[in-house]
Amino acid sequence: MADPVVTQTFVVSTEQGLHLRPAEQLAKLAGRYASQIGLVYQSQRVDAKSILEMLTLGAVKGASVVVEARGSDAADAVQAIVALVTNDFSSEEETNTIK
Amino acid sequence: MQRLQGIAVSPGVAIGEAIVFDHEGFRIPRRFLPRDAVEAELTRLDESIAAAASEIDLNRQRVAEQLGDDYAAIFSAHLQMLQDRRLHDELEQMIRDRHYSAEYSVSRALRRYAKVFLSLEGDTMAERANDIFDIEKRLLRHLLGQRREGLGELTSEVLILAHNLTPSETANLSPEFVRGFVTEMGGPGSHTAIVAEALDIPAVVGTGPFLTEVSGGETVIIDGDHGLVILQPDEETLARYRHEVDEHRHLAAKLETLRDLPADTLDGHHVTLLGNIEFPAEAKQCQERGSEGIGLYRTEFLYLSRDVQPSEEDHVLAYNEVTQAMQGLPVVMRTLDLGADKIPNFPMPEDEPNPFLGLRSIRLTLKHLDLFRTQLRAMLRASTSGNLRIMFPLITTLIELRRAKMVLSDAMEDLDEEGIDFDRNIQVGMMVEVPSAVLMMDRFVEEVDFFSIGTNDLVQYALAVDRNNKDVASLYTASDPAVLRLIRMAINAAKKRDKPISMCGQMSGNPQYTMLLLGLGLRSFSIVPAAIPEIKRICRSVTIPQCEELAERVMTLDSSRDVKTALLEELTRLLPDQPV
């Protein structure tokens, strides 16, 4: 039985785009889920658990990024990631409580 | 086996273990692993990642305590990068499938990321690339462990293969372990060339890219006589070059016997052989090789080997060391001969697309009088400790010379007022290295005590060739008839007024030109100490009429190639065992 794919689009709102700290937080958060999680931006797809790959996206402020997850906890993962981004990566504690 | 043709800048042959320096000065051997070493290599990789991670975490904690979490965030991001699973998969695949060493894998994988970051737009992307380089260095430091060696920390004899060596890198190296240089960049007259000559070791520069073809630890041959570099040499080639090394040694032993004999020609004309030096310590070498003084002390290394500009005391210390070592023999000190772009922490001049035609050398010191004054005061102060002479480089016009002399007399007045002793009759000379100076020699002879022909710059300015540009470097040759005419003009003008004239460029230390220069009337050669015995032997094997006949013949030739051929024929006829 194939796991369902969950996708959702978010817009990068941090001033410097998906830069070092946001990427770090996002990678850390993604790492807590069993699902495969990818980010797609301008037809480039990267592993959301890899900070290095995420930085190669060069997603700037206003970039529209699709998060897609496949796996047992895919829905939770996508929800948590979108929450992190919409909260402007402001508090990691908040994202912890989501899990 | 692979042969690379570069530019021969320092003669001799060296066979030995290579170390490879890349742009960052780190050696990254591209080593392939034997199949059974793969598991051990993976363990080594994981251990170094763990060690680097705990190091970063320690930094993070320390910074967080001192400055707060915000400042420590960069370390937690580095940690995240270091432990990136994708990166780890990639490294593991390189080691497991391609049998790369952990060092090479780390360097390759991380540099790929850095390259991507640099290609992206955004203010912070260059910083991201720096983050990557930082992590790379950290990991390499752990991986290389004891084997990590800067140029100054060598522990065994090596041949240095590098993209390029900066003056400060070469200034800090351990000369006792360096047996040869190869650089991808550079030309004759580059700092690598000068340092190699000073150390008397073979060097080849301007080979073009090859560092990816060679790994640290491999045996490499540097043929500094022919500008050849041989990677992965076969047995036959190795044997041939080992034989050549033996012959070099044999000749050196033969030359050694000439040390205490004068450099007199067969018909009794004395030739003065002086040494060119970079570092005070080389004064001893000059003494050992039987030089009659120092014809050129390049003072630039005082500026290049440190981050702050040298103080007057720094200068005085270095100068005294040289004059004292030479025990009363003349020491010609050249004032700063650098471009503004080469001096650490110095303001870059605007509009400087052509540094060789720009603010360098005497032009620079006349513009930055504080710098000039410091050096001149130090030279004057050191003048009481020996036989010191001052020489101004790159003099182009009479006015320039007069201004430089004016600054010197100001410095003398200041010292006088301060009651500091110096040699009031200190001799002042100039380099003849700009064609305009040659043309104006009849005027310059009235205003200086001595001359020294600087062929490196004279060739470049007369022939309009950048010697560091390998596409045109072949045009750069002292054997060009136009250059020879300029040299003849300069010698004749000085002789006419009985002003001493010497030559201190690379040409004067090249045995091929010795007879020609003697024939043109030159009687003083300033050369790298290592070349003294060789040049002395030639002087002792010729008569002046013989040299004059050769010079006359050569001056009628049309091209540098014809000149070279004629000089070579004559030299091999005279001294068949002389390597050329």
- The model's pLDDT over A21-41, given as tens digits with 9 standing for 90+, comes to 889 999 999 999 999 999 999
- How far apart are the two ends of chain A, measured CA to CA in Å? 25
Helix axes B532-539, B235-256, angle to 10 degrees: 60
Q: What is the DSSP letter of B14?
A: E
Helix axes B369-382, B312-325, angle to 10 degrees: 40
Interface predicted TM-score (ipTM):
0.85
Quick check: is A61 catalytic? no
Q: Considering the domain boundaries, does residue B243 fall inside one? A: yes
3 state SS of A68: strand
**Domain range enclosing B19:** 2-27+152-250
**Tell me, which fold does domain A9-98 have in CATH?**
Histidine-containing Protein; Chain: A; (3.30.1340)
CB < 8 Å to A58, chain B: 120-122, 125
B398 and B448 belong to one structural domain: yes
Among candidates B305, B304, B309, B328, which has minimal Cα distance to B373? B309
A30 at B interface, C-beta within 8 A:
no
Q: Considering the domain boundaries, does residue B320 fall inside one? A: yes
Q: How far is B221 from chain A (nearest CA, A)?
A: 41
CB < 8 Å to A33, chain B: none
Domain boundaries, given as residue ranges, for chain A: 9-98
Mutation to test the A interface, candidates B69, B76, B81, most A Cβ within 10 Å: B81
- B501, β-bridge pairs: B451
CB < 8 Å to A28, chain B: 80
B481 and B515 belong to one structural domain: yes
Beta carbons of B431 and B395 less than 8 angstroms apart: yes
Q: Considering the domain boundaries, does residue B566 fall inside one? A: no
Q: Which CATH number do you get for residue B45?
A: 1.10.274.10
- How far apart are the two ends of chain B, measured CA to CA in Å? 25
Among candidates B344, B245, B236, B325, which has minimal Cα distance to B286? B325
Query: For position A94, what pLDDT does the model report?
Result: 42
Amino acid type, B504? C
Which of B77, B113, B124 lies at the smallest CB-CB distance from A56?
A: B113
pLDDT band at A97 (very low <50, low <70, confident <90, very high): very low
CB < 8 Å to A19, chain B: 122, 124, 128
Query: For position B146, what pLDDT does the model report?
Result: 42
Catalytic one among A5, A14, A19, A50? A19
- Taking an 8 Å cut-off on Cβ atoms, the answer to whether A20 and B74 are in contact is yes
B496 and B425 belong to one structural domain: yes
Q: How far is B131 from chain A (nearest CA, A)?
A: 10
Query: Which residues fall within 8 angstroms of residue B497, CB to CB, at 6 or more apart?
Result: B445, B446
Q: How far is B133 from chain A (nearest CA, A)?
A: 13
Q: Considering the domain boundaries, does residue B442 fall inside one? A: yes
Beta carbons of B225 and B12 less than 8 angstroms apart: yes
> Strands, DSSP E only, in B393-521?
427-432, 450-453, 501-503
Query: For position B578, what pLDDT does the model report?
Result: 77
Q: How many CB atoms are closer than 10 A to CB B155?
A: 10
A11 at B interface, C-beta within 8 A:
no
- B121 → chain A, closest CA residue: A58
Beta carbons of B428 and B412 less than 8 angstroms apart: no
- A29 → chain B, closest CA residue: B80
Query: For position B321, what pLDDT does the model report?
Result: 92
> Strands, DSSP E only, in B440-573?
450-453, 501-503, 524-527
Q: Considering the domain boundaries, does residue B487 fall inside one? A: yes
Q: Give pTM, 2 decimals.
A: 0.61
CB < 8 Å to B123, chain A: 16
* Backbone φ, ψ for residue B150 (5° rounding): -80, 170
Mean pLDDT by 10 residues, chain B (580 residues): 89 87 59 84 92 89 80 86 93 92 87 84 75 83 62 74 74 77 81 78 89 76 92 91 87 80 94 91 83 93 79 94 93 92 74 86 94 96 96 98 98 96 96 98 98 95 87 90 98 97 93 97 93 92 97 97 95 83
Q: Are strands B272-277 and B524-527 parallel, antiparallel or unpaired?
A: parallel
- B116 → chain A, closest CA residue: A56
- Taking an 8 Å cut-off on Cβ atoms, the answer to whether B84 and A16 are in contact is no
- Taking an 8 Å cut-off on Cβ atoms, the answer to whether A52 and B124 are in contact is no
Residue length, chain B? 580
Query: For position B145, what pLDDT does the model report?
Result: 64
- Taking an 8 Å cut-off on Cβ atoms, the answer to whether A49 and B74 are in contact is no
Beta carbons of B201 and B14 less than 8 angstroms apart: yes
Split into its structural domains, chain B has a count of 3
Q: Considering the domain boundaries, does residue B284 fall inside one? A: yes
B435: left (phi > 0), else alpha (psi -120 to 50), else beta?
Answer: alpha
A49 at B interface, C-beta within 8 A:
yes
B135 and B168 belong to one structural domain: no
B297 and B219 belong to one structural domain: no
Q: Which residue reads 């220069």 in tokens?
A: B517
B372 and B485 belong to one structural domain: yes
Q: Considering the domain boundaries, does residue B422 fall inside one? A: yes
- Taking an 8 Å cut-off on Cβ atoms, the answer to whether A56 and B86 are in contact is no
- Taking an 8 Å cut-off on Cβ atoms, the answer to whether B76 and A24 are in contact is yes
3 state SS of A47: strand
- Taking an 8 Å cut-off on Cβ atoms, the answer to whether A52 and B125 are in contact is no
A29 at B interface, C-beta within 8 A:
no
B203 and B130 belong to one structural domain: no
Catalytic one among B78, B191, B315, B368? B191
Query: For position B208, what pLDDT does the model report?
Result: 87
Q: Which CATH number do you get for residue B201?
A: 3.50.30.10
Q: Enumerate chain B positions whose Cβ falls within 8 A of a Cβ in A.
A: 73-74, 76-77, 80-81, 84-87, 113, 116-117, 120-125, 128, 131
Query: For position A81, what pLDDT does the model report?
Result: 93
Q: How far is CA B325 from the centre of its chain?
A: 23
Q: Which residue reads 């001052």 in tokens?
A: B390
Quick check: is B368 catalytic? no
Among candidates B126, B104, B149, B122, which has minimal Cα distance to B134? B126
> Strands, DSSP E only, in B457-540?
501-503, 524-527
C-alpha B249/C-alpha B243 separation (Å) is: 10
Tokens of A73: 């906890």
Q: How far is A26 from chain B (nearest CA, A)?
A: 11
Q: Which CATH number do you get for residue B490?
A: 3.20.20.60
B168 and B66 belong to one structural domain: no
Q: How many CB atoms are closer than 10 A to CB B412?
A: 18
pLDDT reading at A48 higher than 80: yes
A53 at B interface, C-beta within 8 A:
yes
B186 and B63 belong to one structural domain: no
CB < 8 Å to B122, chain A: 16-17, 19, 58, 60
- Taking an 8 Å cut-off on Cβ atoms, the answer to whether A27 and B84 are in contact is yes
B324 and B211 belong to one structural domain: no
Which of B77, B120, B124 lies at the smallest CB-CB distance from A16?
A: B124
B23 and B52 belong to one structural domain: no
- Taking an 8 Å cut-off on Cβ atoms, the answer to whether B77 and A21 are in contact is yes
Choose the final residue of a domain: B499, B520, B535: B535
- Taking an 8 Å cut-off on Cβ atoms, the answer to whether A27 and B80 are in contact is yes
* Backbone φ, ψ for residue B541 (5° rounding): -110, 0
Beta carbons of B463 and B480 less than 8 angstroms apart: yes
Beta carbons of A21 and B77 less than 8 angstroms apart: yes
Q: Considering the domain boundaries, does residue B70 fall inside one? A: yes
Query: For position B151, what pLDDT does the model report?
Result: 57
Q: Are strands B330-334 and B501-503 parallel, antiparallel or unpaired?
A: unpaired
B/e letters for B499-524, b = 16+ CB within 10 Å, e = fewer, are bbbbbbbbbbbbbbbbbbbbbbbbbb
Choose the final residue of a domain: B147, B167, B195: B147
B142 and B159 belong to one structural domain: no
* Backbone φ, ψ for residue A47 (5° rounding): -80, 120
Choose the final residue of a domain: B89, B120, B147: B147
Beta carbons of B175 and B195 less than 8 angstroms apart: no
Handedness of CA B420, B423, B424, B428 (dihedral sign): negative
Tokens of B252: 């050196």
Q: Which DSSP string corresponds to B127-178?
A: HHHHHHHHHHHHHHHHHHGGG---GGG--S-EEEEES---HHHHHTS-TTTE
- Taking an 8 Å cut-off on Cβ atoms, the answer to whether B116 and A56 are in contact is yes
CB < 8 Å to A23, chain B: 77
